[in-house]
C-alpha cells in the first residue's frame, strides 16, 4: 500500500484532471514550463490541505525533438559508457542482458541491438539501433545508418513514440 501527502495530492490532481488531460502541481509546472505549454486550471481542493492546490493543464510540447531544440541524455547512464564498461566487466554472472550492456558500452550498438532482438526486448533493440544509426552517420556510412533507422522507426511508429520518430527522421536527413 502507498500512502502519504504526495500520494494524496497526486490522487486529487488525477481526479480533477479533464478526460484525457494532465494536471500538474506547481513544482512540476515550474520545472517544465519552458518545454511544455500549459493553461492555468481551477485550483483543486484536496483533503488534508488548508488551501486549494494551484494546477496547470499540460496542452502541448513547445518544441519538437531533434528539430527545435538540442536534446541531451535522459537516463543517468546515457553518455556515460566509459563508466558502464568497468561495471559490466566486474559482473560475475553471464546473461544476455550483460552481453548487450557490454556491447553497448563498447559502442558496438548494432551488436547490442541484435542481442536485444534475440531476447525479444524490442524497446531496447530500437534504442540501440537508433544509437547505431547515429554512429554510422558520424562515420559517414549512410547506407548502414539508413538500415538501422528503418528497423528502429518500424518499432517507434508502431507505438507512436513521437520524440524518437523525430530523432530518427532528423538522422535520416543527416545521412542523406
Residue 128: the pLDDT is 94
Residue with cell 520524440: 163
Give the pLDDT confidence score for residue 21 in this predicted structure. 86
Nearest to 126 by CA among 105, 108, 148: 148
pTM of the model: 0.52
Mean pLDDT per 10-residue segment, the chain (176 residues): 74 85 87 85 85 89 53 51 69 81 88 93 92 92 93 89 87 78
Residue 136 CB partners (closer than 8 Å, separation 6+): 142, 144, 145, 148, 175
Return the DSSP state at 52. Answer: P
Domain boundaries, the chain: 5-61, 81-175
| Residues linked to residue 53 through DSSP beta bridges, in sequence order | 44
What's the pLDDT score for residue 84?
A: 66
Model pLDDT, residue 68:
46
Given a contact cutoff of 8 angstroms between Cβ atoms, the answer to whether 91 and 61 are in contact is no
The predicted pLDDT at position 85 comes to: 65
Q: Please, which residues have CB within 8 angstroms of residue 102's CB and are 6 or more apart in sequence? A: 85, 88, 89
Amino acid at each position: 500500500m502507498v500512502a502519504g501527502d504526495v500520494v494524496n495530492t497526486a490522487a486529487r490532481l488525477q481526479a480533477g484532471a479533464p478526460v484525457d488531460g494532465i494536471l500538474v502541481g506547481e513544482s512540476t509546472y515550474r520545472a517544465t514550463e519552458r518545454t511544455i505549454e500549459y493553461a492555468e486550471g481551477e485550483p483543486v481542493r484536496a483533503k488534508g490541505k488548508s488551501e486549494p492546490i494551484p494546477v496547470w493543464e499540460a496542452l502541448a510540447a513547445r518544441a519538437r525533438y531533434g528539430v527545435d531544440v538540442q536534446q541531451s541524455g535522459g537516463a543517468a547512464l546515457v553518455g556515460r559508457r566509459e563508466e558502464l564498461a568497468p561495471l559490466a566487466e566486474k559482473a560475475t554472472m553471464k546473461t544476455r542482458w550483460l552481453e548487450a550492456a557490454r556491447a553497448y558500452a563498447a559502442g558496438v550498438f548494432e551488436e547490442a541491438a541484435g542481442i536485444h532482438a534475440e531476447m525479444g526486448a524490442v524497446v531496447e533493440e530500437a534504442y540501440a539501433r537508433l544509437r547505431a544509426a547515429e554512429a554510422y552517420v558520424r562515420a559517414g556510412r549512410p547506407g548502414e545508418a539508413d538500415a538501422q533507422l528503418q528497423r528502429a522507426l518500424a518499432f517507434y511508429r508502431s507505438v507512436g513514440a513521437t520524440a524518437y520518430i523525430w530523432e530518427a527522421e532528423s538522422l535520416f536527413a543527416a545521412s542523406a
